Amino acid sequence: MAKNWGIQKVEQARYNNVSKNYNYLIKATIILLLTGLLFRNYILESLTLSWSPQPENPAKSEPKCPQVEPLYPSQTTKELDDLEDYLKSDSFRSKSIERLSGAVQIPTQSFDDSGNVGEDPRWDIFYSFADYLSTTFPLVHSTLQLEKVNTHALLFTWPGTNPKLKPTVLMAHQDVVPVPDSTVGQWTHPPFSGHFDGKFIWGRGSSDCKNQLIAALEAIESLIEAGYTPTRTVVLSLGFDEEISGQRGAGHLAKALIKKYGHHGAAVIVDEGMSVIENWDKAWAVPGVGEKGYVDVDVTVRMPGGHSSIPPEHNGIGVASELITIIEANPYEPYLDETNPYLALLRCGAEHAPSFPSKLRKLLNKRDHQSTCAKKHGKDDLANEAAKLGRGTKYLFTTSVAVDIINGGVKSNALPERTHFTVNHRINVGSSSEAIFKHITSLAAQVAKKYDLALIPFNGTETPSSITLSAHSTLLEPAPTSPTFESRLTPFDILSGTTRALYSTDVLVAPGIMTGNTDTRYYWDLSEHIFRYGPGWDKEQVGLGDIHTVDERIGIQGHIDGVRWFVQFLRNMDEAEL
């Protein structure tokens, strides 16, 4: 019995183990079946995604930065063919050097404190400049109609044979920024010498922007000499106070043109601006199709005066300084609005430049695949990454803040009763002056509360014991953005094709934006197609030619290429069906 019982016990244990293993086997089989079903569904879904026809996405299939083919005028004559050869000749080069050098030698400076025309004798130098142009460009003056607006603004009109076509408007300004006496000795060549060293013409205004003014006149003079008559009317509008906001010159010129041609009565406007830059191992022509806004905010701190031997803990200068510190400590965040031309330039870089930064490309793709654009409120990852490319890039899509003027106090032993400073803002595309006023008011409120001062923001006059905020009359909202990549033919295409014909297809064309403002601020109603573009490109000249500072200069080859561009652009515009 003991033996049988032992056998039974062993058999029972064996049975239990088999049962246990069998249960494990059943459970494992069930798990494997379930897993197989899951993998089957996953594989089928993957195959479906991989092989099933997908609906087309136009945003993906169409290029975001299409490049037009080089554009050459189709209508020509022997004289026009000869003109192109002449513009490349040593003879024209010598004449062009002489013309631009002579223009630089006339010190047409405009000053912030200039009085009215006819009252301030400092404007009289512009009579000399007008006389110089008359002598230098006799065919322009005998062929075109010249109207002098507000005495020194020059408005040339070259009537076209088809008055139904909207005119082409070329712009430039005659004035230059002043040269401080203290800096004259720092120039390699005297600032109004127009010195030519074999490669560059030196002097104030050589690259801002007497080069563009002379190039446009040279182009028209040459076309007249070649027997050319435009189909589309050409207008040359030359202001004389752009460097001090242009109210006396361009402000009057724009009103005259809008009155004559009507709202959006011009086909295209080309003024000074960006040229060709090299970025991401590519050369880019970047005509400015937009501009940031502008506003100066005056801040006045009024606090009790008294003898400086018994000073309060904080006086007006100290309080103003604290507010300045707070303003500088609270800058605006980079933000790329969908209408900002720099966003379009990034898309062009991603599409055409293999060396375009991979992180920027990733963030750009992420943004382009979102259903909505980047939020206005909150961090813009793409803008913050692009801002790392440098300050010059950052401020293409960031509102800038700079305290440029400050004064307070009249005597060393008297407490200041009135301290004043000015904060300059260049308003980002997608923002507004209202946003600026709200921001600086909130910062001033902190200081006003801390020192028990009244806050008077943008709607009142100064009172004792107060902080007053006010805006200058030169306030300017960000400019409308000109159309670029459209399904129809636009002036941007004509500009692009002319540029690619001049510099070959090695140069790509992308929208650009200006951090500063040009005389075009007054012309928004004259045309929606406004381009701030300096077409002359000198590969050996880095940067903008030191405009507004010591040793301003322009490469002669870039200047001559600008003349050639204007000749071709005017002819291409004549043939364009816009």
CATH code for the structural domain at 78-270+517-575: 3.40.630.10
How far is it, in rounded angstroms, from Cα 475 to Cα 495?
30
pLDDT category at 368 given cuts 50, 70, 90 is confident
338 is catalytic: no
For residue 129, is pLDDT > 70? yes
* Catalytic-labelled residue, pool 175, 337, 380, 493: 175
Q: Check residue 516 and give its pLDDT.
A: 87
| Sign of the torsion formed by the C-alpha atoms of 369, 371, 374 and 380 | negative
pLDDT at residue 124, rounded to an integer: 98
pLDDT for 542: 59
Nearest to 238 by CA among 287, 275, 274, 271: 271
Handedness of CA 154, 160, 163, 166 (dihedral sign): negative
More confident residue, 157 or 516: 157
Say whether pLDDT at 378 is over 90: no
pLDDT value of residue 515 = 84
Sheet holding 400-408, edge to edge: 400-408, 418-427, 293-302, 466-471, 454-457
Helix, strand, coil share of the chain (percent; to 5) = 40, 20, 40
| Cα 552–chain centre separation | 21
Q: Is 85 marked active-site? A: no
> Do residues 394 and 335 touch, judged by C-beta distance below 8 A?
no
Q: How confident is the model at residue 506 (pLDDT cuts 50, 70, 90)?
A: confident
User: Residue 284, SS3?
Assistant: strand
pLDDT of residue 46: 36
Say whether pLDDT at 370 is over 90: no
pLDDT of res. 505: 82
How far is Cα 88 from Cα 245, in angstroms, rounded to an integer? 36
Predicted pLDDT at 491: 98
% of the chain beyond a pLDDT of 90: 83
The answer to whether residue 220 scores a pLDDT higher than 80 is yes
245 vs 375 pLDDT, higher one: 245
What stretches of 276-354 adopt beta strand conformation (E)?
Answer: 276-279, 282-285, 288-291, 293-302
Strand partners, 153: 149
pLDDT at 284: 97
- Residues of the chain with pLDDT > 70, as a percent, come to 87
- Residue identified by tokens 């800096």 is 183
pLDDT the model gives residue 333: 97
Higher pLDDT, 465 or 60: 465
Average pLDDT over residues 497-506: 93
Give the 3-state secondary structure of residue 271. Answer: strand
CATH code linked to domain 293-332+399-471:
3.30.70.360
Task: Delimit the domains of the chain by residue range.
Answer: 78-270+517-575, 293-332+399-471
Q: Say which residues have a Cβ less than 8 Å from residue 441's Cβ, sequence separation at least 6.
A: 455, 457, 458, 469
| 194 CB burial (10 A radius; 0-12, 13-18, 19+) | buried
Higher pLDDT, 33 or 314: 314
Lowest mean pLDDT among 306-315, 355-364, 445-454, 543-552: 543-552
Please return the burial class of 577, using the count of CB atoms within 10 Å of its CB with bins 0-12, 13-18 and 19+: exposed
Cα separation of 45 and 351, whole Å?
Answer: 32
Question: Whole-prediction pTM value?
Answer: 0.87
**Cα separation of 47 and 14, whole Å?**
48
Q: What is the per-residue pLDDT across 523-566, written as a single tens digit (0 to 9) for each?
A: 999 999 999 999 999 877 655 568 899 999 999 999 999 999 99
Q: Look at residue 196 and give its three-state secondary structure.
A: strand
Least confident of 71-75, 357-361, 375-379, 527-531: 375-379
Select which of 218, 221, 242, 519 is catalytic. 242
Contacts (Cβ under 8 Å, ≥6 apart) of 332:
398, 399, 400, 401, 428, 431, 439
Question: Can you tell me the distance from the alpha carbon of 268 to that of 523, in angstroms, rounded to the nearest whole number?
Answer: 11
The answer to whether the 78-270+517-575 and 293-332+399-471 domains have the same CATH topology is no
Nearest CA among 510, 60, 495 for reference residue 279: 510
pLDDT in tens, 389-429: 999 999 999 999 999 999 999 999 999 999 999 999 999 99
Angle between helices 78-87 and 90-104 (to 10 degrees): 60
- Please give the Cα distance from 325 to 323 (Å, whole number): 5
The pLDDT of residue 5 is 34
For residues 178 and 548, give the distance between their C-alpha atoms in angstroms, rounded to a whole number: 8
Closest listed residue to residue 279, CA positions, set 343, 339, 350: 350
Contact by Cβ (8 Å): 560, 536: yes
pLDDT bin (cut points 50, 70, 90) of residue 323 is: very high
Binding residues for Zn(2+): 173, 208, 243, 271, 548
How high is the pLDDT of residue 13? 38
Binding residues: 173, 208, 243, 271, 548
What's the mean pLDDT in 36-52?
Answer: 35
Dihedral sign computed on CA atoms, order 66, 70, 75, 80: positive
**Predicted pLDDT of residue 2:** 38
Quick check: 279 pLDDT over 60? yes
Collapsing DSSP to helix, strand or coil, 538 comes out as coil
Phi, psi at 427, each rounded to 5°: -80, 130
> Is 90 exceeded by the pLDDT of residue 37?
no
Query: Which candidate, 397, 411, 433, places its Cα nearest to that of 305?
Result: 411
Residue 193 predicted with pLDDT over 90: yes
